[in-house]
Amino acid sequence: MARLALIADIHANYEALVGVVRDVERNAIDKVVCLGDLVGYGPDPHKCIDLAFDVCHALVMGNHDEALIKGPSHGLAMNLRAKNSLEITRSLLTERHLHLLGSLRAETEVEGVAITHGLFGPRKYDYLYDAEAAARAFNCFKQRFGAVGHTHIPSVFTAPVVRPVFPDQVESKPVGGSTLLLLEEDRRVLMNPGSVGQPRDRDPNASWAILDTGDMTLEVRRVSYDTDTTMAKIKKLGLPDFHAERLKVGG
């Protein structure tokens, strides 16, 4: 049984990551798990890589991490703003940082929890938005708990223990703001802690979660941080203004 801190989609936002790490330190946490996308969009990829590798017990590779390592010819679907951000990001990183990103795996397991960035299964960068996607994911990992990032929106889906799982068997749990959910003993759980560095649920506060596999609870926590500083850094580096402005509204 363990209390795991789940963090995801940091996206080179150092101020948000520091705020979350401080909040993690105020709670009784056994291990910190990063669900991918250390880089992209934000101004401090080097600092975020260093801090994440320092505090996290396990990390997986996100689509922005993979695109940075493999280059623009790899063919990962990204809009022009995201591609431009990665070009600037690459110029800020040392070979050591690139090596660290390149060492990440697509999936792993921590304390009986399966973790990946996008979705379990062959379509690894699909988004966990609905029951259909959740059912596909449940059928592609065997553990009781699964955790993903990628959507930048906190969410929780549950399903029967017996596989295969069909979409009409999947239940979605409402997650808004800071939330404490009691998880059902007789169902499997697939969760997304939201985004540290670029929330998209209309709440600008950094999002992370505590999974307690003993008490069977999931707590989504929100942390305020200095968005003005991050926004100023984004604009100074010449990153797209859109990546700065969305931080104010969480969208």
What is the C-alpha to C-alpha distance for residues 189 and 127, in angstroms, rounded to an integer? 16
How far is C-alpha 150 from the geometric centre of its chain's CA atoms? 6
The pair of structure tokens assigned to 146 is 């699964």
Give me the pLDDT at residue 77, please: 62
Range of the domain at 71: 3-249
Helix (H) or strand (E) holding 100, with range, is helix 95-102
The dihedral over CA atoms of 158, 150, 205, 176, expressed in degrees to the nearest 10, equals: -20
Domain count, the chain: 1
Give me the pLDDT at residue 43, please: 97
**3 state SS of 179:** strand
Give me the pLDDT at residue 177, please: 83
pLDDT tens track for 7-30: 999 999 999 999 999 999 999 999
Q: For residue 229, give the amino acid letter.
A: T
CATH code of 62's domain: 3.60.21.10
Q: What residue ranges of the chain have pLDDT lower than 70?
A: 72-78
Report in angstroms the alpha-carbon separations of 47 from 32, 50, 51: 17, 5, 6
| CA gyration radius, the chain | 17
